[in-house]
Amino acid sequence: MKLLSGAVAAVDHGGSLGRASALFPHAPQPFLDLSTGINPHSYPLFDLPATALSRLPEPGRLRELAEIAAKAYGARSAAHVVAAPGTQILLPRVASLVRPGKALVLGPTYAEHARAAAIAGHAIVEVGDFDALADADLAVLVNPNNPDGRVIERHRLVGLAARLRAKGGLLVVDEAFMDVGPVQHSLAGDVGQGGMVVLRSFGKFFGLAGVRLGFALADQLTAERLEAQLGPWAVAGPALEYGIRALANAGWQDDMRQGLAADAKRLDALLSRFGIAVAGGTSLFRYLSFSDAASLFSALGERGILVRHFADRPHALRVGLPGSEEEWQRLESALAAWASRRDDAPKEC
Amino acid sequence: MKLLSGAVAAVDHGGSLGRASALFPHAPQPFLDLSTGINPHSYPLFDLPATALSRLPEPGRLRELAEIAAKAYGARSAAHVVAAPGTQILLPRVASLVRPGKALVLGPTYAEHARAAAIAGHAIVEVGDFDALADADLAVLVNPNNPDGRVIERHRLVGLAARLRAKGGLLVVDEAFMDVGPVQHSLAGDVGQGGMVVLRSFGKFFGLAGVRLGFALADQLTAERLEAQLGPWAVAGPALEYGIRALANAGWQDDMRQGLAADAKRLDALLSRFGIAVAGGTSLFRYLSFSDAASLFSALGERGILVRHFADRPHALRVGLPGSEEEWQRLESALAAWASRRDDAPKEC
Cβ-based neighbours of B212, under 8 Å, separated by 6 or more: A57, A85, A233, A234, A235, A236, A237, B85, B86, B203, B236, B239
For position A7, what pLDDT does the model report? 46
Residue of A45, A208, A233 with shortest CB distance to B88: A233
Nearest to B208 by CA among B259, B252, B246: B246
Q: Contacts of residue A284 in chain B, CB cutoff 8 Å?
A: none
Amino acid at A233: W
Q: Report, as an integer, the average pLDDT of A91-98.
A: 98
* Signed CA dihedral, B190, B196, B197, B200: sign only: negative
- A88 with B119: Cβ contact below 8 A: no
- A209 with B233: Cβ contact below 8 A: yes
For residue A188, count CB atoms less than 10 angstroms from its CB and return exposed for 0-12, middle for 13-18, buried for 19 or more.
buried
Q: Contacts of residue A53 in chain B, CB cutoff 8 Å?
A: 42, 45, 208, 210-211, 238, 242
The total number of residues written for chain B in this structure:
349
- Closest residue of chain B to A16, computed from CA coordinates: B58
Residue of A10, A57, A207 with shortest CB distance to B54: A207
Backbone angles phi, psi at A98, to 5 degrees: -115, 145
For position A8, what pLDDT does the model report? 57
**Measured CA angle at A142 (ends A137, A146), to 5 deg:** 140
Q: Contacts of residue A238 in chain B, CB cutoff 8 Å?
A: 53, 210-211, 236, 238
Neighbours of A56 (CB within 10 A): 25
Question: Are the C-beta atoms of residues B193 and B211 closer than 8 Å to each other?
Answer: no
CA distance B13 to chain A (A): 9
Cα distance between residue A65 and residue A49, in whole Å: 17
CA distance A183 to chain B (A): 24
For position A17, what pLDDT does the model report? 87
DSSP class per residue in A251-280: HHHHHHHHHHHHHHHHHHHHHHHTT--EEE
Q: Report, as an integer, the average pLDDT of B122-144.
A: 98
Element (H, E) at A281: strand A278-282
pLDDT of A156-197, one tens digit each? 999 999 999 999 999 999 999 999 999 999 999 999 999 999
Q: Which of A229-238, A318-327, B338-347 has the least mean pLDDT?
A: B338-347
Sheet holding B32-34, edge to edge: B32-34, B305-309, B316-320, B285-289, B278-282
Average pLDDT of chain A is 95
CA distance B348 to chain A (A): 42
Nearest to B163 by CA among B127, B123, B121, B132: B132
Q: Report, as an integer, the average pLDDT of B26-38.
A: 95
For position A348, what pLDDT does the model report? 54
Q: Report, as an integer, the average pLDDT of A272-278.
A: 96
B2 CA to centre of own chain: 22
Residue of A19, A50, A211 with shortest CB distance to B237: A211
For position B342, what pLDDT does the model report? 86
Cα distance between residue B267 and residue B262, in whole Å: 9
Q: Report, as an integer, the average pLDDT of A229-244.
A: 98
Long-range pairs for B18-22 at CB < 8 Å and ≥24 separation?
B18/A58, B18/A59, B18/A60, B19/A59, B20/B301, B20/B306
Question: Are the C-beta atoms of residues B31 and A189 closer than 8 Å to each other?
Answer: no
pLDDT band at residue B15, thresholds of 50, 70 and 90?
A: confident
For position A2, what pLDDT does the model report? 54
Q: Contacts of residue A116 in chain B, CB cutoff 8 Å?
A: 231
Scored b (16 or more CB within 10 A) or e, A21-44 reads: beebeebeeebbbbbbbbbbbbbe
- Closest residue of chain A to B232, computed from CA coordinates: A88
pLDDT of A120-153, one tens digit each? 999 999 999 999 999 999 999 999 999 999 999 9
- B38 with A55: Cβ contact below 8 A: yes
Residue of B36, B60, B92 with shortest CB distance to A56: B36
CA distance B333 to chain A (A): 25
- Closest residue of chain A to B93, computed from CA coordinates: A229
Question: Are the C-beta atoms of residues B285 and B318 closer than 8 Å to each other?
Answer: yes
A344: left (phi over 0), alpha (psi -120 to 50) or beta: alpha
- B16 with A59: Cβ contact below 8 A: yes
For position B346, what pLDDT does the model report? 66
DSSP class per residue in A197-239: EEEEESTTTTT-GGG--EEEE--HHHHHHHHHHH-TT-S-HHH
pLDDT of B50-106, one tens digit each? 999 999 999 999 999 999 999 999 999 999 999 999 999 999 999 999 999 999 999
pLDDT of B163-196, one tens digit each? 999 999 999 999 999 999 999 999 999 999 999 9
pLDDT of A282-334, one tens digit each? 999 999 999 999 999 999 999 999 999 998 899 999 999 999 999 999 999 99
For position A265, what pLDDT does the model report? 98
pTM of structure: 0.95
Range list of H helices, chain A:
17-23, 50-54, 59-73, 91-95, 112-119, 154-166, 220-230, 237-247, 250-273, 293-302, 325-344
Three-state DSSP class for residue A286: strand
Task: Spell out the domains of chain A, with CATH numbers in brackets.
Answer: 2-42+251-342 (3.90.1150.10), 56-249 (3.40.640.10)
Distances (CA, A) of A334 to A34, A152, B247: 13, 35, 42
First to last CA, chain B: 36
